[in-house]
Amino acid sequence: MTEITLDRLRRGLSGHTPVRIDDPAAAQAAVALVVVPAAGDLDVLFIRRAEMPGDPWSGHIALPGGRRHSADEDLRETATREAREEVGVTLTPGDFVAELDEVTPRSRVLRPIVVRPYLFGLGHRPDLSLSSEVADWLWVPLTVLCRSRGEAVVEVQGSSLRVPAFTIGSTVVWGLTERIVNHFINLLDMI
């Protein structure tokens, strides 16, 4: 992959038409995929969700985000509100880069939900302030993500599953987050 800058990202994704999932019975959620420039690369912000009973994504590596609230004007507002609440990052309209393809969980056990990812580009790494929903954060360079694509074995409800994943040291990014980030990386190959 050649060097990706925020300007190149904005230009390259300006005409992107995201895939939408029409499921009126599904809940709506949004996530913020936040990138910042870093030494000829872009770093991606990930969070580790706090361990919480009843949360199917408890302890997972994720992107800041969550369910749409009735007061949210739209799903982009959901993504920006969740980023502010979970990691203390204020995302402005000028930080917005693109909407990405919607995803849904593949598990039949979970209630239907459609997640819309929004890509935001910041000029520098912001100071983070984690909520009780977030146990930790990490910035991962895109070049590292590209090299770490593969599979991993994860435990799901007492069973071991081999899944597509990004493996960075002992950190495994899989599930909805892997699919969102993988789609984003595939888009970069076209710009």
| Mean pLDDT taken over the chain | 93
pLDDT of residue 176: 94
Is residue 33 in a domain?
Answer: yes
Query: Residue 32: enclosing H or E segment and its boundaries?
Result: strand 27-38
Interatomic CA distance for residues 187 and 164, integer angstroms: 18
DSSP 164: E
Q: Judge whether 130 lies within some domain.
A: yes
For residue 34, tell me if it sits in a domain: yes
The dihedral sign for the CA sequence 152, 50, 113, 129: negative
Look-up of token digits 């990386």: 185
Can you tell me the distance from the alpha carbon of 68 to that of 51, in angstroms, rounded to the nearest whole number?
21
Residues 6 or more apart whose CB falls under 8 angstroms from that of 64 comprise 31, 32, 34, 45, 47, 79, 82, 83, 86, 87, 89, 134
Domain membership of residue 157 (yes or no) is no
Q: Which domain holds residue 91?
A: 6-142
Residue 180 backbone class (left: φ over 0; alpha: ψ -120 to 50; beta: rest): alpha
Residue 138: closest CA among 51, 37, 64: 64
Q: How confident is the model at residue 86 (pLDDT cuts 50, 70, 90)?
A: very high
Residue 164 in this model has a pLDDT that exceeds 90: yes
The 10 Å Cβ neighbour count of residue 146 is 13
What is the predicted pLDDT for the residue at 191? 84
* Residue 159 resides in a domain: no
108 pLDDT more than 70: no
Backbone φ and ψ for 154, nearest 5 degrees, come out as -125, 155
Quick: pLDDT tens for 5-43: 899 999 999 999 999 999 999 999 999 999 999 988 999
pTM: 0.94
pLDDT per residue as tens digits for the range 35-74: 999 988 999 999 999 987 777 667 899 999 999 999 999 9
**pLDDT reported for residue 109:** 66
CATH code, domain carrying 88: 3.90.79.10
- 70 Cβ contact list (under 8 Å, min separation 6): none
Q: Does a structural domain hold residue 117?
A: yes
| SS3 state at 98 | strand
Q: What average pLDDT does the segment 152-170 reach?
A: 90
The residues, any chain, with a CB within 8 Å of residue 96's CB and separated by 6 or more, are 76, 118, 119, 120
Which residue type sits at 121? G
pLDDT at 107 > cutoff 90: no
pLDDT at 88: 98
Residue 179 lies in a domain: no
Domains of the chain: total: 1
- Residue 189 within any structural domain of the chain: no
